[in-house]
């Protein structure tokens, strides 16, 4: 047998429906060619994100019924805190309503105007939160991480030489924190090796620069370490995670990913005085430090989901399902970012539609076609998300990678759904000459991809 079946059986189902082609055509026009504006019920297979879209288990739903909605120190907070302390080894745990709230609280406390915040590659909300606080986000991923063809096993790694150079040139006092995104979402869901995390940590310790993991997908990253890095084959995912976190001073986490819940996040860290500052800020915007904008039941679902996310049978299925989609596409010659990432397959839109220039959003053109042809919703991680005007020259700077992400929600779709998606993408690839470029008719000053409106170029 090529692949073991899903390691769960289905207790509750949710109906999905493919709307007729003519209706999809009307809807995508009405949405300004931006799939964020589509009614979710009009999407057949929703691969917009793996964030907050997981199916919770019977065990998590049972936990929901045990929600203790006391304002302070509910029993669910105590379970939540103990679980995160056990998994990460960090002393302090601060709940937030999602990942970007954790980022906002951390960066608004640490980052001053003119500061530099390195990362392997910043995710869009991380980048925006650094910029919002007057900082300059810097992406220091290794060269292989920008090459869609490279089969490097840890394409999320940070270039340690570049990091050293940045610290020497800028000076440690202008770098309030260094982040590392595991797995590296904006670079294709690619993992970071334990060795790389250790080496980055060594550099930062010398200069006393705080080191934080953007840990949304830490369990998936740890599975890759177990499978690919020598010395980790016989370690459990929990053991690997504990070692990974041991090299960092703290983490931000969107629990909407590897904690298998629909909402939630946290900060975890060791530093007592920084914790106090973060909690003070948290009370202003998120809530009392033992609930941080979440209900007691949410904290319980996160605590239970974090444990389930470390289960090896689950991770084998999870990473295997994403790889299966990747293999079907590679077999048909569709250009995807290799090797397949942990939570998504990324189509290389520059290669898929070379007749559309980056200024006309080739990735978005492919996304529009996927919805039109098959009712599938995906997300662009390319020019629409990242192109920006250089403040000095006024010229538009385009990102190196022009990607379409097919993000796979956790425990939601079966392998038959995956095959349907593969078939749709392959059909589009055969007719790729028909894809049309787009131009913007509205853009917001920050995070424009969420609300942009576009029209097709004749
Ligand atoms: N960091 C990374 C690496 C992420 O992928 C995300 C979210 C966040 C931080 C922010 O977390 O959404 O809970 O506020 N990524 C989602 C995605 C939105 O679709 O990749 P959040």
Q: Residue 337: CB within 6 Å of ligand 1?
A: no
Distance CA 427, CA 283 (A): 52
Check whether residue 80 and residue 155 sit in a common domain: yes
Query: Is 11 among the domain residues?
Result: no
Check whether residue 114 and residue 145 sit in a common domain: yes
Check whether residue 280 and residue 359 sit in a common domain: no
Domain boundary among 267, 289, 308: 308
Query: Is 16 among the domain residues?
Result: no
Q: Residue 53: CB within 6 Å of ligand 1?
A: no
How many Å lie between the centroid of ligand 1 and the Cα of residue 122? 10
Check whether residue 79 and residue 100 sit in a common domain: yes
Check whether residue 85 and residue 192 sit in a common domain: yes
Residue whose CA is closest, atom 18 of ligand 1? Answer: 51
Domain span at residue 219?
58-308
Are the beta carbons of 158 and 179 closer than 8 angstroms?
no
Check whether residue 33 and residue 167 sit in a common domain: no
Q: Residue 60: CB within 6 Å of ligand 1?
A: no
Q: What is the CATH number of the domain that holds 173?
A: 3.40.640.10
Domain boundary among 308, 333, 368: 308
Query: Is 9 among the domain residues?
Result: no
pLDDT attached to residue 386: 85
Q: Residue 218: CB within 6 Å of ligand 1?
A: no
Query: Is 124 among the domain residues?
Result: yes
Are the beta carbons of 155 and 189 closer than 8 angstroms?
no
Check whether residue 139 and residue 214 sit in a common domain: yes
Cβ-based neighbour number of residue 227 at 10 Å: 14
Q: Locate the DSSP E strands across 48-147.
A: 92-96, 116-119, 136-139
Check whether residue 44 and residue 63 sit in a common domain: no
- Give Cβ neighbours of residue 306 (< 8 Å, ≥ 6 apart): 83, 84, 87, 255, 258, 259, 260
Number of domains in the chain: 2
Nearest to 189 by CA among 342, 296, 82, 26: 342
Check whether residue 273 and residue 365 sit in a common domain: no
pLDDT attached to residue 448: 87
Residue whose CA is closest, atom 12 of ligand 1? Answer: 99
Query: Is 4 among the domain residues?
Result: no
Distance CA 253, CA 107 (A): 14
Q: What is the CATH number of the domain that holds 442?
A: 3.90.1150.10
How many Å lie between the centroid of ligand 1 and the Cα of residue 99? 6
Per-residue pLDDT of the chain (458 residues; tens, 9 = 90+): 677 899 999 999 999 999 999 999 999 999 999 999 999 999 999 999 999 999 999 999 999 999 999 999 999 999 999 999 999 999 999 999 999 999 999 999 999 999 999 999 999 889 999 999 999 999 999 999 989 899 999 999 999 999 999 999 999 999 999 999 999 998 899 999 999 999 999 999 999 999 999 999 999 999 999 999 999 999 999 999 999 999 999 999 999 999 999 999 999 999 999 999 999 999 999 999 999 999 999 999 999 999 999 999 999 999 999 999 999 999 999 999 999 999 999 999 999 999 999 999 999 999 999 999 999 999 999 999 888 888 889 899 998 889 999 999 999 999 999 999 999 999 999 999 999 999 999 998 877 899 999 999 97
Check whether residue 407 and residue 318 sit in a common domain: yes
Check whether residue 323 and residue 355 sit in a common domain: yes
Q: Residue 214: CB within 6 Å of ligand 1?
A: yes
How many Å lie between the centroid of ligand 1 and the Cα of residue 24? 28
Nearest to 363 by CA among 385, 332, 337: 385
Check whether residue 27 and residue 41 sit in a common domain: yes
Q: Residue 344: CB within 6 Å of ligand 1?
A: no
How many Å lie between the centroid of ligand 1 and the Cα of residue 51? 7
Distance CA 216, CA 397 (A): 28
Query: Is 357 among the domain residues?
Result: yes
Domain boundary among 269, 286, 308: 308
Query: Is 378 among the domain residues?
Result: yes
Q: Residue 181: CB within 6 Å of ligand 1?
A: yes
Residue whose CA is closest, atom 13 of ligand 1? Answer: 99
Query: Is 3 among the domain residues?
Result: no
How many Å lie between the centroid of ligand 1 and the Cα of residue 90? 21
Residue whose CA is closest, atom 11 of ligand 1? Answer: 99
């Amino acid at each position: 047998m090529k692949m073991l079946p899903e390691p769960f059986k289905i207790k509750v189902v949710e109906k999905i429906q493919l709307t007729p082609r003519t209706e999809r055509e009307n809807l995508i026009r009405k949405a300004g060619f931006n799939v964020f504006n589509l009614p979710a019920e009009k999407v057949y297979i929703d691969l917009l994100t793996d964030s907050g879209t997981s199916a919770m288990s019977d065990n998590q739903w049972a936990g929901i019924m045990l929600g203790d909605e006391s304002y302070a120190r509910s029993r669910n907070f105590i379970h939540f805190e103990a679980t995160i302390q056990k998994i990460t080894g960090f002393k302090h745990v601060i709940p937030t309503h999602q990942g970007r709230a954790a980022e906002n609280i951390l960066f608004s406390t640490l980052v001053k105007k003119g500061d530099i915040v390195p990362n392997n590659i910043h995710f869009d909300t991380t980048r925006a939160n650094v910029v919002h606080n007057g900082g300059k986000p810097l992406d220091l991923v290794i060269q292989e991480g920008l090459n869609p063809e490279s089969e490097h096993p840890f394409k999320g790694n940070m270039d340690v030489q570049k990091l050293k150079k940045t610290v020497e040139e800028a000076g440690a006092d202008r770098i309030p924190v260094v982040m590392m995104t595991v797995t590296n979402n904006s670079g294709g869901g690619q993992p970071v090796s334990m060795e790389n995390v250790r080496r980055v940590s060594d550099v930062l310790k010398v200069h006393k620069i705080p080191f934080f993991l953007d840990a949304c997908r830490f369990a998936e990253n740890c599975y890759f370490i177990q499978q690919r890095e020598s010395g980790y084959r016989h370690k459990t995912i929990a053991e690997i995670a504990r070692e990974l976190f041991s090299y960092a001073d703290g983490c931000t986490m969107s629990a909407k990913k590897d904690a298998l819940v629909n909402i939630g996040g946290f900060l975890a860290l060791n530093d007592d005085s920084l914790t106090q500052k973060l909690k003070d800020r948290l009370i202003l915007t998120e809530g009392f430090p033992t609930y941080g904008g979440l209900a007691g039941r949410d904290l319980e679902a996160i605590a239970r989901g974090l444990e389930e996310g470390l289960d090896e049978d689950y991770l084998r299925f999870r990473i295997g399902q994403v790889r299966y989609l990747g293999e079907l596409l590679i077999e048909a010659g569709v250009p995807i970012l290799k090797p397949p990432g942990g939570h998504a397959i990324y189509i290389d839109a520059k290669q898929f539609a070379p007749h559309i220039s980056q200024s006309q959003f080739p990735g978005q053109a492919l996304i529009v076609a996927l919805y039109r042809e098959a009712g599938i919703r995906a997300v662009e991680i390319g020019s629409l998300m990242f192109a920006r005007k250089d403040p000095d020259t006024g010229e538009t700077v385009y990102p190196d990678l022009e990607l379409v992400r097919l993000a796979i929600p956790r425990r939601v779709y079966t392998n038959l759904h995956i095959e349907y998606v593969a078939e749709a993408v392959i059909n589009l690839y055969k007719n790729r000459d028909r894809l049309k470029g787009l131009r913007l008719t509205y853009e917001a000053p920050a995070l424009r991809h969420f609300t942009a409106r576009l029209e097709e170029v004749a």
